[in-house]
Structure 1
Amino acid sequence: MHIVLGVAAFAAFLVLAGVVYERLGQYRAARDFPPAGQMVDIGGRRIQLDCRGAGSPTVVFEAGLSVEGSLSWSAVQPKIDAHTRACAYSRAGLMWSDSSSAPHSAKQVVQDLHAALTNAGERGPFVLVGQSLGALYAMDFTRYFGPDVAGLVFVDPSHPDQVERVADFMTESRSMLSRVGVALAWTGVLRAAAPVLLPRPPQRTASDAQAMRAIWAYAPRSLTTQLAESDSTDSTLAETRGFRELGNRPLVVLTAMAPYTTAELRGMKITPEQGRQVQVIWKQLHEEEVTWSSRSSHRVLPNSGHNIQLEDPDAVIEAVLSVVRAVRAGGPAEAP
């Protein structure tokens, strides 16, 4: 009996220590990593919005299904804001942005972004830059706020039909371990595991390392939101399926075609040959997206993986600036 009580007391001590560790981590995150840009009130909630530079059109960056929020674009935004106004932000529940009590949806995402831009005094025309799932959010922003959108860049974008098109090769799965980790975030488990769960991407400057420390500091909140967004992927794809007409807005689509790594194949539970077939389909999906605008271009990047903005930021920078120039000139986007 004494052994059982001792084990229970020790377990209770560990939980209490974890709670204290998590609370202390939250305090240190707010102290050491203040939000980049400003916190914009959108009606009882605040969205982090980081706008820099001057000029028109204003480039607006939309991150993919990740935890980095506005910091997804830390290697790209400084090169864009030297030429025009450039805004990156964090969706609700990511990094510094307050969470939303509403069920996750693409419409909610774009309404939040529009409200943040409007309340911060940012005005179109906008060039929307979306990576992965962020490209579909950019499409939905265009659907609801089309007059504000002058051009788009898709960075290895998702496609509304992608799940059905690759169903013969792979099925989507979500880790039970990640669910347990999110459920126990209040105990400090996610904070302690953040450097393992979120390994460092390629880093070029001291500011890259500082950004990574900020991402780890806010990991418990961001990972919880990322899981909710991941669970809503099917409904998000369905929600964005009904709009595919960009008219004559300049559009550049970037496709990552570096062979899948061993770790990526293992995560997708497919063989190298299946991986090659999935990539053929992925390229075909992007070729379809190119047809969504009459003023579009497509660039395939054989040496870049999915996170092109981190692995080959120069390709993204060239694409964005080509669309900016096209908007200013009123012509088609130049082939990067």
Structure 2
Amino acid sequence: MSSFWARKKDDTNRPEGTFQRQDENDHENDPTEHQEPTEHTSLLSRNNSQGYLSPDDPAVSPYNLWTVRAVRGLSLFALAVSFMWWTFLLVSIFVSPPLMHSRGSGFFEFAYTTLATGYLVLGLLFFAVPSKAMTIWGIVLSTLLLVDMIIIVAVPGLRYEEGWVGIASVVWAAVISIYQIVQNRAVAWGKREEEERLTGREETRRSLREWAVVLFETIILAIMTIATVLFTATLILRARDVSLEAPGRRYSVHGDTYQVHLACVGNRTKNDNEPTILLEGDWGPVEHSLQPFIDDAYRAGAINRYCYWDRPGLAWSDNAPSPHSAGMSVDVLSEALALAEESGPWIVVSAGVGSLYSRLFASRHLLEVSGIFLIDPLHESYLQDVGNPGRGFMLWLRGVTSPLGLDRLAGAIVRGRTREDRVVGRSAYQSGKFIKAKLQENLVAVTMTAAEVQSARHIQMGQTPLVIVSSGQEMRKDPEWATRQEDLSTITNTLLAWDVVHDAPHEVWTVGEGRQVLEKRLREIVQDSQARRPY
């Protein structure tokens, strides 16, 4: 008690103003008193004797660091670029911009850009919640994308099909995957620094929300990684398929924009009036449908020479720029024949939808076509079905998922499908090129193609010999089909024969009776063509 009063007395004996000066000295000794607050000091509480915030305080955030904010800004810029490129590729499926045409389907570059855009969106949505799982998945994903990039660049056939657009897209996806790893680690570093500075320790706890975010990120990245594994496996199949040699040759057409495949079997003779059969397939590659039958007829001596080709997007032919109509296909066929120095005379032989192409070719080569042979042909009135919007949407959906190659991989692994099956055989319809060709066919069926076929009907040479062989099954199944077959028998004034093979399916040549009728009529139209043309 006495000591207290002694100190009190001592204080009262101090000169006036001593307390004030001492207080000022204390403030002068505080190095932060006269400094402007920075992003490192502005968040510290002055009422807290230790200067630390609670770990749960919203102010404890990696966004406090300008480096983290800069990384986020860069991510937003990359997302904007990626989204614009994604939109550009989406539009190019339907309308090819100049210098943007892909000789392949164009679906692979769209898939890689979708992956990169989705990865950026995921990283920005959960930017402030970095995790080791995201880093690990990012390393796996970037490794796979680098492998895909190497495959595309190293295999000449793939490099040719994908072009600079495909290569740029896979490189972009690989760069984004590597960048996401850097972003994740940069945010983790910033989060740890801010926690240590503002709370005095690194926060090792995670809230239930953060654990849910980490789980969601892991699931999405696992899905992306599985998709990329499928991309890689499909690329390996494609690398094997492009090594399959094509019979005949591939010719650059349409201003060297793409190439089409054309092959001719049999030797030319000095007899100028001897016709050459020009084949046009049905829905798929002609090598899997009509060409084997015609080849048998050639070996049996029914015909002396024939040529066949693949429409753009089928078998060994590249995809054409969009939009692409039947008339455009006929134009590039004419160009390829000219480059091959093939001049006819021609007897055009076709089946199904290929009959539309043959009729267009005949109307544009009136003096060179000496016969038209149609096998269960598709009437132009059915172009409404070909151009059905619902069918077009399903083709587009199949196209954008085709890089996953689920059906192609299952066929190769489980069913033992060969590269021949995938290029010209029963699995050809699974390729992105084929799907793109069918989508192009769908988009212009009721507009450009319908108008071209109607014009061809008006200018068809009346004296051109015509043979039609129809499927009895199709005619019994659909009375309108029978009516349309009869209508097609009037496209010229010289109908040599119209046969209905009663038990034959749409592919008439697949049954014995159908093959006999076809071979018989083929001989007759060849003989008629020779008799009509002067020596």
TM-score range normalised by the length of the shorter chain: 0.7 to 0.9
Which residue in the other structure is 2:334 paired with?
114
Q: Which amino acid aligns with 1:242?
A: S
Greater Cα shift, 177-186 or 93-102: 177-186
Show structure 2 runs of 5+ residues with no match.
Answer: 1-212
Amino acid aligned to 1:212: D
Contact 2:326 2:441 in 1 (8 A): no
Whether 1:155 and 2:369 are equivalent positions in the alignment is no
Say if 1:313 and 1:233 are closer, same or farther in 2 by CA, change over 3 A.
farther
Residues 1:34 and 2:249 are matched in the alignment: no
Amino acid at match of 1:96: W
**1:1-336 correspondence to structure 2 within 5 Å:** 1-31=213-243, 33-42=244-253, 43-44=255-256, 45-54=258-267, 56-64=274-282, 66-82=283-299, 83-162=303-382, 173-174=390-391, 176-189=393-406, 191-192=408-409, 211-215=420-424, 216=427, 219-235=431-447, 236-244=449-457, 245-258=460-473, 276=477, 279-296=478-495, 297-311=497-511, 312-330=514-532
| % identical aligned pairs | 22
Unaligned runs of 5+ in 1: 201-208, 261-274, 332-336
Q: Which has the higher mean CA deviation after the structures are superposed, 74-83 or 185-194?
A: 185-194
1:190 Cα deviation from its structure 2 partner: 5.2
Query: 1:239 & 1:194 partners in 2: Cα distance?
Result: 38
Structure with bigger strand share is: 1
Provide the C-alpha distance between the structure 2 equivalents of 1:327 and 1:69, rounded to a whole number of angstroms. 24
> 1 CA distance for matches of 2:357 and 2:510?
20
Shift of 1:242: 2.6
- 2:280, 2:351 within 8 Å by CA — same for their partners in 1? yes
- For 1:49, give the aligned amino acid: L
3-state SS of 1:255 partner: strand
Higher relative contact order (CA 8 A, sep 6+): 1
Residues 174-183 or 116-125, more deviating: 174-183
How far apart are residue 211 of structure 1 and its match?
4.9
Distance change >3 Å, CA 137–CA 119, structure 1 → 2 = same
Please give the per-residue CA displacement for 1:74-94, whole angstroms capped at 9, x wherever unaligned: 322212433321011101111
Aligned-pair CA distance for 1:193: 6.2
TM-score normalised by L of structure 1:
0.79
What secondary structure sits across from 2:455 in the alignment?
coil
CA distance in 2, matches of 1:226, 1:71: 17
Tell whether the 8 Å contact from 1:152 to 1:249 is kept in structure 2 after alignment: yes
Question: Computing the radius of gyration over CA atoms, which structure comes out larger, 1 or 2?
Answer: 2
CA distances 1:54-80 after superposition (whole Å, capped 9, x unpaired): 35301001112x232443323222124
> How many angstroms does 1:317 deviate by?
3.1
Between the two proteins, the alignment pairs up a number of residues equal to 296
What is the RMSD computed on CA atoms of the aligned residues? 2.8
**1:320 partner SS:** helix
Which string of whole-angstrom CA distances, capped at 9 and with x for unpartnered residues, describes residues 246-293 of structure 1? 311111011112168xxxxxxxxxxxxxx74xx222122221221222
